[in-house]
Amino acid sequence: MFGAKEVATIVGLAESRIRYWAQTGFVGPSLKRGGRPLYSFQDLVAVKTAKELLERGMTMQRVRKSLEALRSQLPEVAQPLSQLRVLSDGERLVVVDDGARYEPLSGQLVLDFDVTALAGDAARITQLRDAEPTAVTSAASAPEPTARAVAAEPPPAHAFGAYRDGLRLAASGRTDEARAAFERALALDPTLAAAHTNLGLLAHAAGRTDEARAAFERALALDAAQPEARYNLGNLRDEAGDTDGALAEWYQAITLDPDFADAHFNIGATLVESGAFGPGARHLARYLALLPDGDAAIEARAMLSAIEQKELS
C-alpha cells in the first residue's frame, strides 16, 4: 500500500496534484488503514495511466467522462485504468477488452486505431504490475530491515522493485544504499526518469550540486513534463544566486503542474523579497490554498500578514 506522497514520487507528480485527483474523484485511493486513505498497487497503476493519458493530450474532462462511461458500462470493473488496457491517440480514449477495441463515450467499436506509439507505455505499465512488491507495505510504515536481512535479500528483478527499495532506504536515512538502489533501477530501466530525479535529490543533499544538476537534466530529457526535476533545478539556481533563472524554472514547474504548491511558495517568497508584493502574495495564497498545513504554511502566513500591514500603514 502507498501513501499520497509516495505515489507522487513514484509517478513524478506533485503531491498536491495526487490529492486533488483524489478529492475530485478523478482517480484516488481505494484502501484505508486506521482511517488513512492508501493506494493499492492497482490504484498506483491507475494514477500512472491517467498521467500518461493527460500527457498524450487528452483533457482531464474527457478522461473523466470516459472513466464514468466505463464504470457505467462495466460495473464489475472497479479500476478501469488498471484492469483494462486503456489507449489514447491524444483525442480519444479507447479500451481493449477481450481483443475488441471500443470508445467508451460513444460505445462504438474502433476498427482502425494506431496503437504503435503506445506499445512502450503499455509495456511499462505491465512491468509495474508484474513487479508488485509483497514484503513492504509502504515506505513510511515499513519496519526498517536489519543489516543481516538487507545483506541476505536478493536484488529486485524489476526496475520498480529497485526504485521502491531506494525510496524506502532514502526515507530511513540510508542514503548510500538508496543511491545504489536507484542506480540498480536505472540499470534495469534507463528510461526511469523519477530515479534520476531522486539521485539528483541525494546528490543535492550531499552538496554535489553539479551531479545533482546533471541528474535533474537527465530526468527532463527523458520526461520533459516532470515538474519535480524542473522545480529542483530552480532550487539549484536560487542557491547559486541566479534569482531570475530560479524563477524561470519554478514558473515552468507550475506551468507543467499548476497545483505544485512548493513552487508557488518559492515564487511567492522570492517575489516578496524583491518588493513585488502583489504577485508574491498571490502565489503565497495559492500555496496555502493547496497545502494549508504544509511545512512552509507558517512562513507563508507571516509574509502575507507583513504585506497586509504594509498596505494598511
Domain-wise residue ranges, the chain:
4-130, 260-313
Sign of CA dihedral 141, 146, 151, 152: negative
pLDDT confidence of 135, banded at 50, 70, 90? Answer: very low
Calculate mean pLDDT across residues 214-238. Answer: 90
C-alpha span between 153 and 32 (Å, rounded): 29
C-alpha span between 62 and 66 (Å, rounded): 6
Q: Tell me whether residue 59 is exposed, middle or buried, using C-beta atoms within 10 angstroms of its C-beta: 0 to 12, 13 to 18, 19 or more.
A: exposed
C-alpha span between 171 and 259 (Å, rounded): 24
Calculate mean pLDDT across residues 11-36. Answer: 81
* pLDDT confidence of residue 210: 96
* pLDDT confidence of residue 82: 62
Report the range out of 34-38, 59-63, 219-223 with the highest average pLDDT: 219-223
Phi, psi of 12 (to 5 degrees): 80, 40
Query: Which of 1.10.1660, 2.30.29, 1.10.260, 3.30.160 is the CATH number of 4-130?
Result: 1.10.1660
The more confident residue out of 5 and 98 is 5
The SS3 of residue 57 is: coil
CA 209 to chain centre: 23
C-alpha span between 247 and 237 (Å, rounded): 9
* Confidence check: pLDDT of 137 > 50: no
pLDDT confidence of 268, banded at 50, 70, 90? Answer: very high
**Which residue matches cell numbers 513534463?**
225
Q: Tell me whether residue 309 is exposed, middle or buried, using C-beta atoms within 10 angstroms of its C-beta: 0 to 12, 13 to 18, 19 or more.
A: exposed
CA of 129: how far to CAs of 118, 226, 309, in Å? Answer: 17, 22, 54
| Stretch (H or E) spanning 86 | strand 85-88
**CB under 8 A, 24+ apart: contacts of 153-158:** 155/184, 156/131, 156/184, 157/131, 158/127, 158/130, 158/131, 158/188
CA of 75: how far to CAs of 37, 69, 96, 109, 290, in Å? Answer: 22, 10, 16, 19, 33
What value does the mean pLDDT of the chain take? 76
Tell me the three cell numbers of residue 117: 506509439
* Confidence check: pLDDT of 142 > 80: no
Predicted TM-score of the model (pTM): 0.56
179 with 148: CB under 8 angstroms?
no
* Confidence check: pLDDT of 136 > 60: no
* Confidence check: pLDDT of 71 > 70: no
